[in-house]
């Protein structure tokens, strides 16, 4: 069932607002997590990949930093739903803006839209692995799984943004050009 245009805009606005507010909160939580062992804060932890690297990060954070990281990971569960929804909607909107003759462009948008739910699932798995590490369960598997989930997640998100900007930008420029030519400009 398709949403009306008005409902689509409302859902997109709520999702975007939620994502921005949550991202701002997580960026604030991340500031004290930026250490020599974790120059990129929680992202360094996500990408640690080995027990030694993860342990080094945890030691650099201390108990207060670990609490901040845990809070950030908990907020991320809500954030992952918000960003997946927003990217899914934007990819679908860009794809649907292309005429039927551009099947590959439309199909790419549809695939990337649906891939955002896979990115969110990977993000949730990654968060679970990182929470296990924070709780003291640091084996070889958790940092590796977290790293691979993060890498694939970031790739899927980057591909969606690339599609939104490029395919959306090209479509918008084409629309503006055709509108200007109809006006006789």
Structural domains counted in the chain: 1
> Structural domain of residue 80, as residue ranges?
5-183
Alpha carbons 116 and 160: distance in angstroms, whole number:
8
- Of 153, 118, 126, the C-alpha closest to 54 is 126
Burial class for 140, CB neighbours closer than 10 Å (0-12, 13-18, 19+): exposed
Task: Quote the crossing angle between the two packed helices 51-97 and 103-134, to the nearest 10°.
Answer: 150
pTM of the model: 0.90
Alpha carbons 145 and 20: distance in angstroms, whole number:
27
* Tens of each residue's pLDDT in the chain, 185 residues: 566 888 989 999 999 999 999 999 999 999 999 999 999 999 999 999 999 999 999 999 999 999 999 999 999 999 999 999 999 999 999 999 999 999 999 999 999 999 999 999 999 999 999 999 999 998 999 999 999 999 999 999 999 999 999 999 998 887 777 776 777 65
């Amino acid at each position: 069932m398709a949403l009306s245009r008005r409902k689509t805009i409302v859902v997109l606005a709520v999702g975007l607002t939620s994502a921005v507010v949550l991202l701002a909160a997580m960026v604030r939580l991340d500031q004290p997590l930026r250490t020599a062992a974790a120059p990129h804060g929680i992202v360094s932890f996500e990408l640690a990949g080995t027990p030694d690297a993860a342990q080094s990060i945890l030691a650099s954070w201390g108990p207060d930093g670990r609490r901040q990281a845990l809070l950030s990971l908990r907020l991320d569960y809500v954030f992952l739903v918000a960003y997946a929804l927003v990217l899914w909607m934007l990819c679908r909107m860009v794809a649907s803006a292309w005429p039927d003759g551009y099947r590959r462009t439309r199909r790419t948008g549809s695939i990337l839209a649906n891939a955002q739910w896979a990115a969110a699932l990977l993000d949730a798995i990654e968060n679970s692995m990182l929470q296990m590490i924070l709780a003291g369960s640091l084996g070889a598997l958790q940092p590796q799984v977290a790293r691979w989930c993060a890498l694939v997640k970031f790739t899927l998100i980057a591909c969606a943004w690339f599609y939104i900007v490029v395919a959306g930008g090209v479509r918008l420029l084409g629309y503006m050009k055709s509108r200007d030519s109809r006006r006789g400009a």
